[in-house]
A = this chain, B = another copy of it.
Protein backbone atom coordinates (compact mmCIF):
# COMPACT_ATOMS: atom_id res chain seq x y z
CA UNK A 1 0.00 0.00 0.00
CA UNK A 2 1.30 3.39 -0.86
CA UNK A 3 -0.95 5.37 1.48
CA UNK A 4 0.66 6.50 4.73
CA UNK A 5 -2.21 8.11 6.60
CA UNK A 6 -0.26 8.74 9.78
CA UNK A 7 3.41 8.27 10.56
CA UNK A 8 5.83 9.22 13.33
CA UNK A 9 8.91 10.92 11.94
CA UNK A 10 11.50 12.19 14.44
CA UNK A 11 9.32 13.90 17.01
CA UNK A 12 6.67 14.83 14.48
CA UNK A 13 3.39 13.14 13.56
CA UNK A 14 2.93 13.45 9.82
CA UNK A 15 -0.65 13.01 8.65
CA UNK A 16 -2.42 13.25 5.32
CA UNK A 17 -4.74 16.26 5.32
CA UNK A 18 -7.90 14.41 4.32
CA UNK A 19 -9.90 17.61 3.93
CA UNK A 20 -7.85 18.30 0.77
CA UNK A 21 -8.50 14.97 -0.96
CA UNK A 22 -9.15 14.05 -3.72
CA UNK A 23 -8.02 17.34 -5.24
CA UNK A 24 -4.56 17.23 -3.71
CA UNK A 25 -2.51 14.92 -1.50
CA UNK A 26 -1.03 17.14 1.20
CA UNK A 27 0.53 16.38 4.55
CA UNK A 28 0.34 18.16 7.89
CA UNK A 29 3.33 18.01 10.20
CA UNK A 30 1.97 17.94 13.76
CA UNK A 31 4.77 19.11 16.05
CA UNK A 32 2.59 19.90 19.07
CA UNK A 33 -0.52 18.45 20.63
CA UNK A 34 -2.69 21.46 19.74
CA UNK A 35 -2.06 20.92 16.03
CA UNK A 36 -3.02 17.26 16.43
CA UNK A 37 -6.17 18.15 18.41
CA UNK A 38 -7.22 20.53 15.63
CA UNK A 39 -6.43 17.93 12.97
CA UNK A 40 -8.72 15.42 14.71
CA UNK A 41 -11.46 17.98 15.34
CA UNK A 42 -11.58 19.28 11.76
CA UNK A 43 -11.29 15.75 10.30
CA UNK A 44 -7.88 16.19 8.68
CA UNK A 45 -7.35 12.79 10.27
CA UNK A 46 -10.50 10.72 10.82
CA UNK A 47 -11.66 7.13 11.01
CA UNK A 48 -11.82 5.43 14.40
CA UNK A 49 -8.53 3.44 14.23
CA UNK A 50 -6.59 6.38 12.77
CA UNK A 51 -7.94 8.66 15.49
CA UNK A 52 -6.70 6.14 18.07
CA UNK A 53 -3.19 6.21 16.61
CA UNK A 54 -3.36 10.00 16.27
CA UNK A 55 -4.26 10.27 19.96
CA UNK A 56 -1.28 8.12 20.95
CA UNK A 57 1.04 10.28 18.86
CA UNK A 58 -0.70 13.33 20.27
CA UNK A 59 0.31 12.24 23.75
CA UNK A 60 3.94 11.99 22.61
CA UNK A 61 3.70 15.48 21.12
CA UNK A 62 2.28 16.81 24.36
CA UNK A 63 5.01 15.46 26.61
CA UNK A 64 8.07 15.50 24.36
CA UNK A 65 9.04 19.08 25.17
CA UNK A 66 8.99 18.43 28.92
CA UNK A 67 12.37 19.29 30.43
CA UNK A 68 13.85 17.96 33.66
CA UNK A 69 13.11 14.91 35.79
CA UNK A 70 10.25 16.00 38.05
CA UNK A 71 7.98 12.99 37.83
CA UNK A 72 4.97 14.69 39.43
CA UNK A 73 5.12 17.65 37.06
CA UNK A 74 5.54 15.27 34.15
CA UNK A 75 2.47 13.26 35.22
CA UNK A 76 0.48 16.46 35.51
CA UNK A 77 1.39 17.42 31.94
CA UNK A 78 0.77 13.86 30.76
CA UNK A 79 -2.69 13.69 32.30
CA UNK A 80 -3.62 17.14 31.02
CA UNK A 81 -2.50 16.08 27.55
CA UNK A 82 -4.61 12.93 27.67
CA UNK A 83 -7.64 14.82 29.00
CA UNK A 84 -7.23 17.47 26.31
CA UNK A 85 -7.01 14.94 23.47
CA UNK A 86 -10.11 13.19 24.85
CA UNK A 87 -12.15 16.34 24.14
CA UNK A 88 -11.42 16.32 20.40
CA UNK A 89 -14.24 13.98 19.34
CA UNK A 90 -16.77 12.00 21.38
CA UNK A 91 -17.95 8.95 19.45
CA UNK A 92 -15.03 6.82 18.24
CA UNK A 93 -14.00 4.78 21.26
CA UNK A 94 -10.56 4.04 19.80
CA UNK A 95 -9.57 7.52 20.90
CA UNK A 96 -10.31 6.72 24.54
CA UNK A 97 -9.07 3.16 24.35
CA UNK A 98 -5.69 4.27 22.98
CA UNK A 99 -5.42 7.07 25.54
CA UNK A 100 -6.07 4.40 28.17
CA UNK A 101 -3.29 2.28 26.72
CA UNK A 102 -0.97 5.25 27.01
CA UNK A 103 -2.14 5.89 30.59
CA UNK A 104 -1.49 2.24 31.42
CA UNK A 105 2.18 2.73 30.55
CA UNK A 106 2.45 5.34 33.26
CA UNK A 107 0.34 3.42 35.77
CA UNK A 108 2.33 0.24 35.24
CA UNK A 109 5.68 1.98 35.77
CA UNK A 110 5.26 3.69 39.16
CA UNK A 111 8.99 3.84 39.81
CA UNK A 112 10.18 4.95 36.37
CA UNK A 113 11.91 8.30 35.97
CA UNK A 114 10.87 10.82 33.34
CA UNK A 115 13.28 9.76 30.55
CA UNK A 116 12.23 6.14 31.05
CA UNK A 117 8.54 7.07 30.95
CA UNK A 118 9.06 9.07 27.78
CA UNK A 119 10.79 6.10 26.17
CA UNK A 120 8.06 3.74 27.34
CA UNK A 121 5.33 6.02 25.98
CA UNK A 122 7.04 6.27 22.61
CA UNK A 123 7.44 2.50 22.58
CA UNK A 124 3.73 2.10 23.38
CA UNK A 125 2.63 4.57 20.69
CA UNK A 126 4.74 2.73 18.11
CA UNK A 127 3.24 -0.56 19.28
CA UNK A 128 -0.26 0.92 18.75
CA UNK A 129 0.83 2.07 15.30
CA UNK A 130 2.25 -1.32 14.29
CA UNK A 131 -0.65 -3.18 15.85
CA UNK A 132 -3.06 -1.26 13.61
CA UNK A 133 -1.10 -2.32 10.53
CA UNK A 134 -1.14 -5.94 11.62
CA UNK A 135 -4.73 -6.02 12.81
CA UNK A 136 -6.07 -4.52 9.57
CA UNK A 137 -4.36 -7.21 7.51
CA UNK A 138 -5.80 -9.92 9.75
CA UNK A 139 -9.31 -8.45 9.38
CA UNK A 140 -8.70 -8.40 5.64
CA UNK A 141 -7.90 -12.11 5.67
CA UNK A 142 -11.04 -13.00 7.61
CA UNK A 143 -13.32 -10.68 5.68
CA UNK A 144 -12.05 -11.62 2.23
CA UNK A 145 -13.51 -15.10 2.70
CA UNK A 146 -16.95 -13.49 2.46
CA UNK A 147 -16.29 -12.11 -1.02
CA UNK A 148 -17.33 -14.50 -3.76
CA UNK A 149 -16.70 -14.18 -7.46
CA UNK A 150 -18.44 -11.25 -9.21
CA UNK A 151 -19.94 -10.00 -5.99
CA UNK A 152 -21.26 -6.46 -5.95
CA UNK A 153 -20.26 -4.92 -2.64
CA UNK A 154 -21.41 -1.70 -1.05
CA UNK A 155 -19.70 0.49 1.53
CA UNK A 156 -20.22 3.86 3.16
CA UNK A 157 -17.92 6.61 4.38
CA UNK A 158 -14.25 5.66 4.39
CA UNK A 159 -13.14 2.63 6.33
CA UNK A 160 -9.92 2.33 4.36
CA UNK A 161 -6.23 3.08 4.52
CA UNK A 162 -7.20 6.66 5.30
CA UNK A 163 -9.19 5.56 8.36
CA UNK A 164 -6.29 3.54 9.75
CA UNK A 165 -2.52 3.65 9.54
CA UNK A 166 -2.32 2.32 6.00
CA UNK A 167 -4.69 -0.54 5.09
CA UNK A 168 -8.24 -0.18 6.31
CA UNK A 169 -11.02 -2.14 7.94
CA UNK A 170 -13.92 -2.56 5.47
CA UNK A 171 -11.75 -1.55 2.52
CA UNK A 172 -8.96 -3.79 3.81
CA UNK A 173 -11.33 -6.68 3.07
CA UNK A 174 -11.47 -5.49 -0.55
CA UNK A 175 -7.69 -5.08 -0.74
CA UNK A 176 -7.09 -8.61 0.48
CA UNK A 177 -9.74 -10.06 -1.86
CA UNK A 178 -8.12 -8.16 -4.73
CA UNK A 179 -4.67 -9.57 -3.83
CA UNK A 180 -6.23 -13.02 -3.87
CA UNK A 181 -7.20 -12.38 -7.49
CA UNK A 182 -10.94 -12.24 -6.85
CA UNK A 183 -13.09 -10.30 -9.29
CA UNK A 184 -15.70 -8.11 -7.63
CA UNK A 185 -17.00 -4.56 -7.73
CA UNK A 186 -17.77 -1.91 -5.15
CA UNK A 187 -20.42 0.78 -4.81
CA UNK A 188 -19.30 3.67 -2.65
CA UNK A 189 -21.97 5.80 -0.95
CA UNK A 190 -20.79 9.39 -1.18
CA UNK A 191 -21.61 9.95 2.52
CA UNK A 192 -23.04 13.37 3.15
CA UNK A 193 -22.34 15.89 4.43
CA UNK A 194 -18.55 15.69 4.12
CA UNK A 195 -18.42 13.19 1.25
CA UNK A 196 -15.83 10.84 2.71
CA UNK A 197 -17.15 8.12 0.38
CA UNK A 198 -16.79 10.24 -2.76
CA UNK A 199 -13.59 12.00 -1.77
CA UNK A 200 -11.68 9.33 0.13
CA UNK A 201 -13.04 5.86 -0.60
CA UNK A 202 -13.30 6.40 -4.36
CA UNK A 203 -9.78 7.87 -4.35
CA UNK A 204 -8.35 4.89 -2.47
CA UNK A 205 -10.19 2.21 -4.43
CA UNK A 206 -9.31 3.84 -7.73
CA UNK A 207 -5.61 3.83 -6.77
CA UNK A 208 -5.90 0.12 -6.02
CA UNK A 209 -7.61 -0.45 -9.39
CA UNK A 210 -10.77 -1.83 -7.82
CA UNK A 211 -13.90 -1.52 -9.99
CA UNK A 212 -15.77 1.25 -8.15
CA UNK A 213 -18.98 3.16 -8.77
CA UNK A 214 -19.96 6.24 -6.83
CA UNK A 215 -23.58 6.76 -5.76
CA UNK A 216 -25.41 9.29 -3.62
CA UNK A 217 -26.55 7.87 -0.29
CA UNK A 218 -30.21 8.02 -1.33
CA UNK A 219 -29.55 5.72 -4.31
CA UNK A 220 -28.52 2.69 -2.26
CA UNK A 221 -32.09 1.47 -1.75
CA UNK A 222 -32.79 1.59 -5.45
CA UNK A 223 -29.59 -0.35 -6.22
CA UNK A 224 -30.62 -3.01 -3.72
CA UNK A 225 -34.08 -3.31 -5.25
CA UNK A 226 -32.44 -3.93 -8.63
CA UNK A 227 -30.39 -6.78 -7.15
CA UNK A 228 -27.14 -4.88 -7.60
CA UNK A 229 -25.88 -5.25 -4.03
CA UNK A 230 -24.79 -8.69 -2.80
CA UNK A 231 -23.05 -7.74 0.43
CA UNK A 232 -22.37 -4.65 2.55
CA UNK A 233 -19.21 -3.88 4.54
CA UNK A 234 -18.84 -0.85 6.80
CA UNK A 235 -16.42 0.23 9.48
CA UNK A 236 -17.38 1.22 13.03
CA UNK A 237 -16.69 3.95 15.54
CA UNK A 238 -17.86 2.14 18.66
CA UNK A 239 -19.36 -1.29 19.23
CA UNK A 240 -21.24 -1.98 22.46
CA UNK A 241 -20.97 -5.32 24.25
CA UNK A 242 -24.28 -6.42 22.72
CA UNK A 243 -23.08 -5.71 19.16
CA UNK A 244 -24.93 -2.42 18.65
CA UNK A 245 -22.64 -0.40 16.41
CA UNK A 246 -22.12 3.34 16.02
CA UNK A 247 -20.73 4.29 12.64
CA UNK A 248 -20.95 7.16 10.17
CA UNK A 249 -24.44 8.57 9.70
CA UNK A 250 -26.23 6.55 7.02
CA UNK A 251 -24.96 3.18 8.21
CA UNK A 252 -28.18 2.42 10.07
CA UNK A 253 -30.13 3.33 6.93
CA UNK A 254 -28.10 0.78 4.96
CA UNK A 255 -28.66 -1.88 7.62
CA UNK A 256 -32.45 -1.42 7.53
CA UNK A 257 -32.43 -1.48 3.73
CA UNK A 258 -30.21 -4.58 3.75
CA UNK A 259 -32.66 -6.38 6.00
CA UNK A 260 -35.59 -5.43 3.76
CA UNK A 261 -33.77 -6.74 0.69
CA UNK A 262 -32.21 -9.81 2.35
CA UNK A 263 -28.63 -8.62 1.88
CA UNK A 264 -25.89 -9.60 4.37
CA UNK A 265 -24.57 -6.65 6.35
CA UNK A 266 -21.10 -6.83 7.92
CA UNK A 267 -19.19 -4.53 10.23
CA UNK A 268 -15.39 -4.67 9.99
CA UNK A 269 -13.65 -3.37 13.12
CA UNK A 270 -10.77 -4.26 15.40
CA UNK A 271 -10.99 -5.05 19.09
CA UNK A 272 -9.96 -1.46 19.83
CA UNK A 273 -13.35 -0.28 18.48
CA UNK A 274 -15.30 -2.33 21.04
CA UNK A 275 -16.58 -0.68 24.19
CA UNK A 276 -17.30 -3.65 26.42
CA UNK A 277 -18.18 -1.41 29.35
CA UNK A 278 -21.47 -0.34 27.80
CA UNK A 279 -24.39 -2.70 27.43
CA UNK A 280 -26.04 -1.24 24.33
CA UNK A 281 -25.82 1.39 21.64
CA UNK A 282 -28.10 3.68 23.64
CA UNK A 283 -25.09 4.56 25.77
CA UNK A 284 -22.93 5.70 22.84
CA UNK A 285 -22.53 9.48 22.68
CA UNK A 286 -23.34 10.74 19.19
CA UNK A 287 -21.42 13.79 17.99
CA UNK A 288 -23.51 16.54 16.41
CA UNK A 289 -21.50 18.78 14.13
CA UNK A 290 -22.03 22.34 12.98
CA UNK A 291 -24.81 23.16 10.54
CA UNK A 292 -22.46 24.72 7.97
CA UNK A 293 -21.35 21.22 6.98
CA UNK A 294 -24.86 20.74 5.58
CA UNK A 295 -25.77 24.27 4.47
CA UNK A 296 -22.59 25.16 2.62
CA UNK A 297 -20.30 23.58 0.14
CA UNK A 298 -16.96 25.06 -0.90
CA UNK A 299 -18.12 28.36 0.54
CA UNK A 300 -21.33 28.34 -1.49
CA UNK A 301 -24.63 28.43 0.37
CA UNK A 302 -26.89 25.49 -0.50
CA UNK A 303 -29.76 26.32 1.83
CA UNK A 304 -31.56 29.49 2.87
CA UNK A 305 -29.95 31.51 5.65
CA UNK A 306 -31.15 30.74 9.14
CA UNK A 307 -32.61 27.32 8.38
CA UNK A 308 -32.43 24.86 11.27
CA UNK A 309 -30.19 21.85 10.69
CA UNK A 310 -29.88 18.48 12.38
CA UNK A 311 -26.39 17.13 11.72
CA UNK A 312 -25.47 14.02 13.70
CA UNK A 313 -22.15 12.59 12.51
CA UNK A 314 -23.04 9.02 13.48
CA UNK A 315 -25.93 6.68 13.97
CA UNK A 316 -26.37 3.42 15.84
CA UNK A 317 -27.18 0.17 14.08
CA UNK A 318 -28.83 -2.32 16.44
CA UNK A 319 -27.14 -5.70 16.58
CA UNK A 320 -30.19 -7.49 15.20
CA UNK A 321 -29.56 -5.89 11.80
CA UNK A 322 -25.92 -7.03 11.68
CA UNK A 323 -25.00 -10.30 9.99
CA UNK A 324 -21.51 -10.43 11.45
CA UNK A 325 -18.60 -8.39 12.79
CA UNK A 326 -15.25 -9.06 11.13
CA UNK A 327 -12.44 -8.65 13.69
CA UNK A 328 -8.77 -9.58 13.73
CA UNK A 329 -9.73 -12.73 15.65
CA UNK A 330 -12.35 -13.90 13.18
CA UNK A 331 -15.96 -13.16 12.30
CA UNK A 332 -18.30 -12.73 15.24
CA UNK A 333 -21.87 -13.84 14.52
CA UNK A 334 -25.06 -13.76 16.61
CA UNK A 335 -25.79 -14.22 19.41
CA UNK A 336 -23.50 -11.24 19.83
CA UNK A 337 -23.55 -10.81 23.61
CA UNK A 338 -22.18 -14.31 24.05
CA UNK A 339 -19.89 -14.40 21.04
CA UNK A 340 -18.33 -10.97 21.53
CA UNK A 341 -17.49 -11.97 25.09
CA UNK A 342 -16.08 -15.29 23.91
CA UNK A 343 -13.95 -13.87 21.10
CA UNK A 344 -12.65 -10.62 22.50
CA UNK A 345 -13.98 -10.25 26.07
Contact = CB atoms under 8 A, between A and B. Distances in A.
A149 interface: no
Interface in A164-194: 187, 189-193
A297 B298 CA distance: 8
A23 B23 CA distance: 26
A8 B312 CA distance: 44
Best-buried of A218, A249, A250 by chain B (most CB within 10 Å):
A218
A308 interface: yes
A343 interface: no
Contacts of A211: 308
B214 A310 contact: yes
Best-buried of A260, A306, A310, A311 by chain B (most CB within 10 Å):
A310
Interface residues of A, number: 55
Contacts of A300: 23, 297-298
A214 B187 CA distance: 26
Given A298-B297, A309-B214, A221 B304 contact: no
Contacts of A253: 218, 220-222, 253, 257
Best-buried of A23, A217, A222, A294 by chain B (most CB within 10 Å):
A222
B218 A250 contact: yes
A195 B301 CA distance: 11
Contacts of A257: 253, 256-257
A234 B24 CA distance: 40
Interface string A203-228: 10010000111111111111101000
Contact of A310 (B187, B225, B311): B187
A295 to B, nearest CB: 7
Nearest to A228: B310
A216 B309 CA distance: 9
Contacts of A309: 213-215
Contacts of A212: 307-308
A285 to B, nearest CB: 14
Interface in A293-327: 294-295, 297-298, 300-304, 306-312, 315-316
B22 A301 contact: yes
A14 interface: no
A193 B213 contact: no
A303 to B, nearest CB: 4
Nearest to A157: B218
A231 interface: no
A217 B217 CA distance: 7
B214 A192 contact: no
B303 A214 contact: yes
A119 interface: no
A252 B294 contact: no
Nearest to A261: B256
A46 interface: no
Interface of A: 22-23, 156, 187, 189-193, 195, 198-199, 202-203, 206, 211-223, 225, 249-250, 252-253, 256-257, 259-260, 294-295, 297-298, 300-304, 306-312, 315-316
Q: Nearest 5 pairs between A and B by C-beta?
A: A218-B250, A221-B253, A192-B216, A217-B218, A222-B315
